[in-house]
Amino acid sequence: MDDRRVIGGIVHVLKSGRRWTDAPREVYGPKKTLYNRFVRWAAKGVWVGLFETLAQAGGPASQVLIDSTAVKAHRCAAGGKGGAEPSHRPLAGRAHDQDPRPHRPRLPPARLPANRRAGR
């Protein structure tokens, strides 16, 4: 598959903030190809090298810089709807007094031999 077509698909997904499956197959090719090449090129440092080269080339800031207006975050990236901090919310679907691991039996506390107890 043509690299230009794949790069166009990767840029489309990243700019739109959508999932890989939402990239039009007719335009950019299979979603699996887009994802696999993105991950493979990221592991090889291709994207870092590309951004460094573009930054060194100079040019208009609107074409060189990346900010929140150029890359959209997925709706789950912000932590959901407003309200209390996530650490203050109860776990979803679980009562406060419910054991998170009901299938595990409670074990008696471990007893250490006298020679291995703390302070001896």
Give the pLDDT confidence of 11-53 residue by residue, as tens digits. 999 888 889 999 999 999 999 999 999 999 999 999 889 888 8
Residue 45 backbone dihedrals phi, psi, to 5 degrees: 85, 15
- What's the pLDDT at 85? 56
Cα dihedral angle (25, 28, 47, 42), rounded to 10 degrees? 30
Q: Is 99 helix (H, G, I), strand (E, B) or coil?
A: coil
Separation between Cα atoms, residue 25 and residue 34, nearest integer Å:
10
> Which pTM does this prediction carry?
0.50
pLDDT band at 58 (very low <50, low <70, confident <90, very high): confident
The larger pLDDT score, comparing residue 101 to residue 120, is at 101
Q: Is 55 helix (H, G, I), strand (E, B) or coil?
A: helix
In tens, the pLDDT along 79-103 reads 555 555 555 555 555 555 555 565 6
DSSP-derived letter for residue 98 is: S
pLDDT tops 70 at residue 77:
no
| Cβ atoms within 10 Å, residue 32 | 10
